[in-house]
Amino acid sequence: MSTKEIAGTSVEVDGEGFLADHTVWNLDIARAIAMEEGIDPLTDRHVEVLDFMRKEFETNGTAPSIRKMNKLNVVPTKELYALFPGGPAKKAAKIAGLGKPQGCI
């Protein structure tokens, strides 16, 4: 783990930049990570997905899969790829302050 300053906050991150502690997350950190990931601006729709992911993580201990988000009508798969291009599960989890999803390379 290493320490990185994100949005004026010193946080611990792993080798890929995922937050080590999801409890330090806030919207300013999310916006900064999103910008690093090429997503700017972070829209209300992005935040809706991030909030759902964080609630699922708090409830189940893992970030939801793309399939689960589609099945629960949170966001259609095609829209998820548009919102978080280049690996939506991994990118959305990173911006949401969660660990790297299981099964992601």
Is 104 marked active-site?
Answer: yes
Asked if pLDDT for residue 11 goes beyond 90, the answer is yes
Give the predicted TM-score (pTM) of the model. 0.93
HSE-CB for 101 with a 13 A CA cutoff:
20
What was the pLDDT predicted at 101? 80
What was the pLDDT predicted at 90? 93
Among the listed residues 10, 15, 104, 105, the single catalytic one is 104
For the chain, domain boundaries: 2-95
Give CA–CA dist 66/31, Å, rounded. Answer: 21
What's the one-letter identity of residue 23? T
Asked if pLDDT for residue 105 goes beyond 60, the answer is no
